[in-house]
Chains A and B, each alone.
Chain A
């Protein structure tokens, strides 16, 4: 059973920031929030993960609320190549249970 909920779809104008929300209200203290994305017919691509602090890398930023019940993935300057399904995942780092949400289909519009 998925432990995350995400909106099914979003649009974003090219060059603007894309903010993808995720709710994980039942997250446990030792569970991390991971974000992956799937570009059409390709395997999932790791984006970022975090426990409680905000994280940033070359692809995106992850903002986790203080109570850890929700998070937002931010793509600062969306490009057409960012069009994909984005999955928010909660899991224990050493665990084998992957709790995928429904994913958000992001469409970047020229």
Chain B
């Protein structure tokens, strides 16, 4: 596609449930990032994939968070046993290596 696509755009889940967020990057982009932004806060880095290299997971806030990228393309961010503090907008971005990147429109996650 022409841009980075994320789904769902909005997700409401009950505390304790697991959720999966999907990101379809721009075709050919080797780098993929996940960020989140809580209300009124700046972007918080979560995880970074670059080609076939081991991902940089240094931003994941707890072991309830995990992400994978299959076939160097689509990525899924999984949050297990969701907590209310997980409520945020989750953003995915992709880029060519070393290039400026394009963000998706995000998934708004609300944990009730």
Contact = CB atoms under 8 A, between A and B. Distances in A.
Contacts of B10: 96
Interface in B34-77: 35, 39-40, 42-43, 45, 48, 59
A67 B13 CA distance: 41
A30 interface: no
A98 B91 contact: yes
Nearest to A41: B98
A93 B42 CA distance: 11
A97 B39 contact: no
A100 B43 contact: no
A38 B43 contact: no
Interface in B75-112: 89, 91, 98, 100-103, 105-108
24 contacts: A36-B43, A38-B100, A38-B101, A43-B43, A43-B45, A43-B59, A44-B35, A44-B43, A46-B42, A46-B43, A85-B100, A87-B100, A94-B39, A96-B9, A96-B89, A96-B106, A96-B108, A97-B105, A98-B91, A98-B103, A100-B102, A100-B103, A102-B100, A105-B100
Interface of B: 9-10, 31, 33, 35, 39-40, 42-43, 45, 48, 59, 89, 91, 98, 100-103, 105-108
Interface of A: 36, 38, 40-41, 43-44, 46, 85, 87, 93-94, 96-98, 100, 102-103, 105
